[in-house]
Amino acid sequence: MTVPHALTRQQQVLTLAGTLIALFLAALDQTVVATAGPDIQRSLHLPPGLYTWITTAYFVSSTVLVPVYGRLSDVYGRKVVLVVGVVLFVAASALCGVAQSAWQLIAFRALQGVGSASLFTSAFAVVADLFPPSERGRYTGLFGAVFGISSLVGPLLGGFITDHFGWHWVFFINLPLGLVALAFIVWRMPPLEPAGGRGGSIDVTGGVLLATGVVPLLIGASLGRVVLREGDVGYLWTSPPMLAMGLVSLVGLAGFVTWELRVEQPLVDLRLFRVPTVRWGVSTMFVMGAAFLTPMVFLPLFMVNVVGVTNTASGLTISPLVMGIVAGNVLSGQLASRFGRYKPFMLAALLVLTAGFLIMGLTLRADSTQGEVTAKMVLLGLGLGPAIPLYTLAVQNAVGAHQLGVATSMTTFFRSLGSTIGVAVVGSLFASTLARELDVGVAQATAGLPAALVASAVSRPAGAAVEGGEGAAGMRFDVEAAKQRAADGLEGARRVALRALEGDALAAAAVERSPLSDDALKAQVQGGGPRAQVQARFEATWRRVQAAAETPLTWTALLETSELPPAVKAAALGVSPAALKDGAGPAEALAPVRAALDAEAARLGALALEQARSKLELRIATERPRLLAAIDAVSLAMREAFTTATSLVYRLMAVLSVLAFLLTLPLPQLKLRGRATPMPAGE
């Protein structure tokens, strides 16, 4: 790139400021929209299957176009590519804000990603153009700090804007910031054009093959599930759609590599992988991509569901992590510039990061406090901080000025690819572990209680699916609310059952859906309740009395049996066979028996109803404390399930950080070049 060395300090600062604002816009939009997601879903009536695409569309288009913009910036210059990116991003933000349907919003989010890819790539290339490697570390830390700050500010800002102005302003807020960045870039940024002037071709075929390979890969990673439950969005990893996407991705990537090795001016010069610094640096950036975002995605789930803090407080818990990242970014860049070495700081940071992940993975408990978790976040931040600036600095230092755009885009591309795939795959493992632990824990906590009674009070995240951390607020289990639901449910069921026992036909039908429903209660409410059942039995007795009254012999036989209740039998003994043949007929003679039957039916019906009521009240009195105790047990089971799943995530991240350490060991330690220092031999 042609860089005017006579650039004043003010021009450098203003160019840097405009680039930082542009980068902040792109990084912020990765997190700020997630908070507004529920409001967007309600407003645009997003189906569950499309909800995650608000974020996925942005990530996919942004990731796949990073190498394209890297090549474009090497051919046409940084400034023009950066201007195009900002214009696209701002225009797409305005379109997102006025979107009237789910598909419109998803399409405009994808367009936002197209613009953001330019910002991610060009920002790091610009600082490489303005400052030589020996000075660059002092400034690259600022770019890494932008990512950390945006991860903290994004969710908080998104929630505030959504609550006070509506979700549309989550996108409209990009307009003034984008215009400020554009003003800095247009009026204060030097052209930063190729040294030989603009020229060269763009490898369109390579871009198509890259998209064919990467888009299905990212979509598959976002939709893959270890376990698929009702209401989940996605596919099992071994399902035909996932296998098809994997095959397409494999063919596309194989075609891309084959084509890029043959074409004269490739989109991504794969020969750069022959450079050890590029090979090991880019590989490490892929691994570190997952480790960078994972703590910020999954920690809020733990804080909300286990520690019990609000969403705002959970965001503040990440602040030490972000501050550690910012401090690590800036400090590592300064130290690398001062001592002219970057590898020792990389390795030291990875050791700190591994220790931080292990501490989190091995010491998280269901009774962990906010202060305890917050303190542990500092160590993670200090370990993650050097990840972005030092590896980018090392790769840029190992290539020529004409390859800065491609080399920088490679680090950005592989970091983004690692972040997207890592969070998706780890999220799938998190969800399956959480679902399994929840199933076991809830089953143990509610053993012996009727399923309908448990379902009326105990609710939990179905399948515990997590896509990029979205929906954390809705997964929290509120013990007091559950207990209130239990009390309300029992009281409502009690009123329905009492009405059914008293003969209410509608209430009797509702008993089938009542949490108190069982065979005994169903039997009691059949036929109009206990009183009606008693009355039906006495009607049957009355028919036998009438039949026996037809002949003296059968009447005498009836009186000699014990079928009749005592009061009814006493009335029947007062009726002689001769009276049954008098002119008045059996009806008048049996009137006392009928009266006795009615009186006895009323007495026994009232007694049966009272006994049924007493049994119902006794059952409720027995079930209520058991249900409340079960709710406490379910709450503990859920906290333990989240703890187990979250601990697994951090242990996996410890493994990744060890892998990153091993990949960094063979990375060469090259001298940081000044403006006039030639490329190192062998690189």
pLDDT digits (tens, 9 = 90+) for 504-526: 888 778 777 777 777 788 888 88
- Two structure tokens written together for 298: 């999954």
Gap between the Cα atoms of 636 and 579, Å rounded: 76
Q: What is the mean pLDDT of residues 477-495?
A: 77
**pLDDT greater than 90 at residue 351:** yes
Phi and psi (nearest 5°) for 201?
Answer: -105, 160
With bands split at pLDDT 50, 70 and 90, how would you rate the model's confidence at 108? very high
Spatial separation of the C-alpha atoms in residues 330 and 386, rounded to whole Å: 8
Element (H, E) at 133: helix 133-165
Q: What is the pLDDT of residue 651?
A: 93
- Token output for 232: 């989940």
- Taking residues 358-382, report their average pLDDT: 86
What the block records as the tokens of 574 is 């007062």
Residue type, 606: A
The number of angstroms, rounded, from the C-alpha of 594 to the middle of its chain's C-alpha atoms is: 71
**C-alpha span between 146 and 82 (Å, rounded):** 17
pLDDT > 90 fraction of the chain, expressed in percent and rounded: 9
The residues, any chain, with a CB within 8 Å of residue 394's CB and separated by 6 or more, are 277, 281, 342, 343, 346, 667, 670
| Adjacent-strand bridge partners of 235 | 224
Which pLDDT does position 200 carry in this prediction? 58
Is the per-residue pLDDT at 91 higher than 90? yes
Contacts of 275 by beta carbon, 8 Å cutoff, 6+ apart? 398, 399, 683
Q: Which residues contact 609 (CB under 8 A, 6 or more apart)?
A: 501, 502, 529, 530, 531
pLDDT number for residue 358: 93
The band of 136, judged by pLDDT with boundaries at 50, 70 and 90, is low
Quote the pLDDT of residue 385: 79
Q: Which has the minimum average pLDDT: 121-125, 184-188, 310-314, 588-592?
A: 310-314
User: What is the rounded distance in angstroms from the CA atom of residue 395 to the CA atom of residue 269?
Assistant: 14
Residue with tokens 């060890």: 658
Tens digit of pLDDT for each residue in 197-251?
455 567 788 888 888 888 888 888 777 777 776 666 678 888 888 899 889 989 9
CA dihedral angle for residue 672, residue 674, residue 675, residue 679, rounded to 10 degrees:
-50
pLDDT of residue 366: 86
Vertex 305: Cα angle to 304 and 309 (nearest 5): 35
Q: Look up residue 295 and give its amino acid.
A: P
| Residue 456 binned pLDDT confidence (cut-offs 50, 70, 90) | low
Q: What is the pLDDT of residue 471?
A: 40
Work out the average pLDDT over 530-549. Answer: 86
Residues 6+ apart with CB under 8 A from 284: 391, 660, 663, 664, 667
Give, rounded to a whole angstrom, the gap between the first and last alpha carbons of the chain.
19
Task: Residue 315: name the closest of 222, 258, 377 by CA.
Answer: 377
Q: CA nearest 417: which of 664, 65, 74? A: 65
Mean pLDDT for the stretch of residues 621-632: 81
Give the model's pLDDT for residue 251: 92
Q: Which amino acid is at 281?
A: G
Residue with tokens 């000044």: 674
Looking at residue 29, the DSSP 8-state letter turns out to be: T
Q: For residues 203 and 264, what is the distance between their CA atoms, to the nearest angstrom?
A: 9
- Helix locations, 77-132, DSSP H: 78-97, 102-130
Burial class (CB in 10 A: 0-12, 13-18, 19+), 579: middle
- The neighbouring-strand residues paired with 224 are 235
Q: Predicted confidence band at 465 (pLDDT cuts at 50, 70, 90)? A: very low
Number of neighbouring beta carbons within 10 Å of residue 622: 10
> Residue 368 gets which letter from DSSP?
-
Query: How far does Cα 42 stand from its chain's mean position?
Result: 17
pLDDT given for residue 673 in this prediction: 60
**DSSP state at residue 584:** T
Please give the Cα distance from 2 to 48 (Å, whole number): 50
DSSP labels, 195-242: TT-S-----HHHHHHHHHHHHHHHHHHHHEESS--TT--SEETTSHHH
Q: What angle do CA 255, 400, 15 make, to 5 degrees?
A: 105
User: In the prediction, which pLDDT does 67 show?
Assistant: 82
Q: How far, in Å, CA of 470 to CA of 48, rounded? A: 12
pLDDT for res 583 = 52
Give rounded-to-5 percent helix, strand, coil for the chain.
80, 0, 20
Phi, psi (5° rounding) for residue 501? -65, -30
Q: How far is CA 258 from CA 123, 249, 266, 417, in A?
A: 30, 14, 11, 20
Average pLDDT over residues 21-34: 75
Closest by CA to 457, choosing from 510, 493, 506, is 493
Query: Which one, of 360, 632, 303, lies nearest residue 475 by Cα?
Result: 303
